[in-house]
Structure 1
């Protein structure tokens, strides 16, 4: 038995668990942190875990909060933004609508090889004084009552072991050790499946056509560095490059529109791609001899009724709640949960009562979760709509950059006074997002799905590029409050612009949504309509 009383034990030494350990150790250097991990390093590159793409919050968290920026820049791929091709059933990419950026936006994000990253995290955690134990299988645990410590039973190479800790955090991924033991899993109403595989060869999408104008749209001409989405009704296909030289390919689909049974083996998935995205199928088939792995998740999205407890346990990553791989929010929510857990451990170290803080942080976490869930739930049917989907993507990112990113980048997640001060603005933005997600469905029901040769360049939207460029600004409370109010007004103007844009082609779309059209005044630039 490990007779030492530890401050924190983390069940799981993957991305969520090790970054939490580093964040805790950085905040409280004298803290004793034990991480128990089943797998033994080195982990395989290119075919370890899915979840390779990051967006701005995760990139900021890994790079700046955890201090991994040199590793991200040296060992992974700087992402060329997100990119969409409305290519359902097409053999080509040049004559369909393309949504993306012509040049990389200023705030970085990355394509991550999880094997490379998690191998590095294991080494780095030990360098930072974390007790990282590999080859460990957790056999059971007891949650301490009151001030009693938590007890974890596990086996390692030396047999059965027991340790005790004041805090216990579940970072065990989909195993969800605490979530399952306490029956915390909840159906969130978003039912979708995913299959994915890795090919040990770069899928050079830039070489998939010879059209000179198409090639010259991007500077440099490196679309392969993007998270490329090839979309159609009810689904999206991802293409994500890995620094190891492999490429990740995934199919994510509404369970009712594209059943998992039609794609749950590599051969079935390839046949499905031949029907829906033949251009992808052709290039995957050419490299099928380099298939590295294949896996699937059924009903990958789920909720969780608890995340943080005043009894000094918590959940992070997929051990808690999981949304959807679209927009890559998984690592964002690792960052948010880990930050709240770090704050709670600090509050406990001060000797303050935890209950009110745990409830408040949990409400905040779930408000972010629910706001993001609205972007997915009941929305997959319009993913292949070249008229509506590009505008929805712009809206979703304006909401993300304008609200959630501001709170995280400015280190205000735990600032109760500031969150309370801005409560009316946050509520207004949340209600506006709910209304706009419903409006996109209304517009989609009327849309003619016009698709044609067009580059919908997000860099042409000056206000959009400026939001990205200013994410790392350092703001005091009053300046941040002013920015959030400006962003709220911007979103109101954007909603008006979107409704008016849709009404120009489909006048009846306004029925029931006239309240979204504000008074005459400034409107936000949008793309030209797809011809």
Structure 2
């Protein structure tokens, strides 16, 4: 047995575990950290793991909190935002509604090759003095009672051993070592499946259409750099480019509308694509000989009863709770969980009692999780609606940029005093989000789903582009409080503008939503109404 108790043992050396190790070491340079990882490097490029698309919180966390900006810029792809095509059963993208930006927005996000990134992170934790042990299988662990250390039992190719640690941190991904042992997994009511594969070639969507006007909508004409969503009722298909030159393709679907059994092999998935997204099927089929892998998750979304404990353990990444790949929030919630764990470790090092802090951080984590889950749960049926989904996307991003991003970018995740002060605004925004998700379903029920040959350019919405451009502003408490209040007021006006816009074609939508219409101060810019 290794008799010396380590400050922390992290179970899992993937994205969540390695970034947690880096954040802990950056905050507390004298910390003795051991990371145990089952796989040995080098990891394969292109076909290592999914979770390749990052959005603003994760990009900020990687680049600024962990100091990895140069690696992101040099080794990965600057994303051309999210892009949506309402292309169910269609064979030409120029003839359908497109939602996206004509030029890249100022705050960066990235398409990351998980193999390249995790190989780099493994080297980086070693450079920073962290004990990273590869080829190690965790065989069990015991949570220490009171102040006693935790014990981890492991096995390597050369034998077995034990470690002791003050903090036991689970980043074991879907293996969920602590979640399963402590029976923490919870059904969150969102039942969806995903299949995916990687093609060792670029799927350059810009070349899929000969329409000169369509090609000229974007500058530069590089839609392939986007996370492209090809949408239909109950599902979406992702196309994500990787810096290794490969392309990631996935199908994510409501389990009740598109059963996994219809797509759980490559041949089945290709047949499914031929029926629903023939343009994707054609380009995938022509590269069948370049198939790198194929995998699936059944019921990929789940909740977790606990994330952080005053008994000095915590969960991060998919070892805890997982939402949905739509909007790519996975790495965002790694950043949030890692930050709360780092704060708890710091309080423990200062001799603070952890009970109240662990409960507070856990409540905040779950409030962010539940607010985001509402964007997905019961919403997949409207994903093929070219009238409703583009407006829902704008709403969802206004909520994300206007509230959660503000708290993360301004480093207030652990500021209990500030969070308490802003409690009424945070609650109001969460309640408004809940109401709007319900409204989108009402709208979809009467929508005609008209699909036009048009690009809905998010850059045309001045307020939307400004929200993105100002995310990195440095704000003191008063300025941030003012911005959050203004953002909530903006969201009320946006909600009213959305209801008003929907009611032009469907007057019945006014009924029961008069309180939302009453919130309008200044009408918010929206896309031109589908005619």
Shorter-chain TM-score: what band? over 0.9
Alpha-carbon contact 1:170-1:176 (below 8 Å) kept: yes
RMSD: 0.6
Matching of residues 121-136 of structure 1 within 5 Å: 121-136=121-136
Q: Distance in 2 between matches of 1:294 and 1:221?
A: 30
CA deviations 1:423-467 (Å, max 9, x no partner) are 000000000000000000000000000111011000000000000
Give 1:268's aligned residue.
Answer: 268
| Residue equivalent to 2:50 | 50
Partner of 2:530: 530
> Equivalents in 1 of 2:510, 2:37: separation in Å?
54
1:414 equivalent to 2:408? Answer: no
TM-score by length of 2: 1.00
1:130-529 mapped onto 2 (5 Å cutoff):
130-518=130-518, 521-529=521-529
Structure 2 counterpart of 1:75: 75
Distance 1:413 1:155 in 2: 37
Aligned equivalents of 1:210 and 1:449: distance in 2?
Answer: 26
Mapped to 1, the partners of 2:522 and 2:421 lie a distance apart of: 27
**1:24 aligned partner:** 24
Give SS of 1:99's match: strand
Cα deviations by residue, 1:453-509 (Å, 9 ceiling, x for unpaired)? 011000000000000000000000000000000000000000000000000000001
**Superposed displacement of residue 158, structure 1:** 2.3
State the shift of 1:240 in Å. 0.1
Higher mean displacement: 518-527 or 5-14? 518-527
How far the C-alpha of 1:2 sits from its partner, in A, is 1.4
Asked if 1 retains the 8 angstrom alpha-carbon contact of 2:493 and 2:520, the reply is no
Is this contact kept in 1: 2:493–2:519, CA < 8 A?
Answer: no
**8 Å contact 1:454–1:530 — kept in the other structure?**
no
CA deviation string 1:172-223 (max 9, x = no partner)? 0000000000000000000000000000000010000100000000000000
Give the whole-Å Cα distance in 2 for the aligned partners of 1:279 and 1:157. Answer: 47
CA contact (8 A) 1:5 1:165 kept: yes
> In 2, distance between residues paired with 1:519 and 1:197?
45
Partner Cα distance (1:160, 1:270) in 2: 44
Alignment CA distance shift 1:519-1:420 (3 Å):
closer
TM-superposed deviation, 1:530: 2.3
Q: 1:353 to 1:273 in 2, by over 3 A?
A: same
- Which runs of 5 or more residues in structure 2 are unaligned? none
Whether contact under 8 Å (1:239, 1:247) holds in the other structure is yes
CA distance in 2, matches of 1:512, 1:230: 33
The match for 1:40 is 40
Secondary structure at the aligned position of 1:132 is classed as: strand
Residue aligned with 2:93, SS = coil
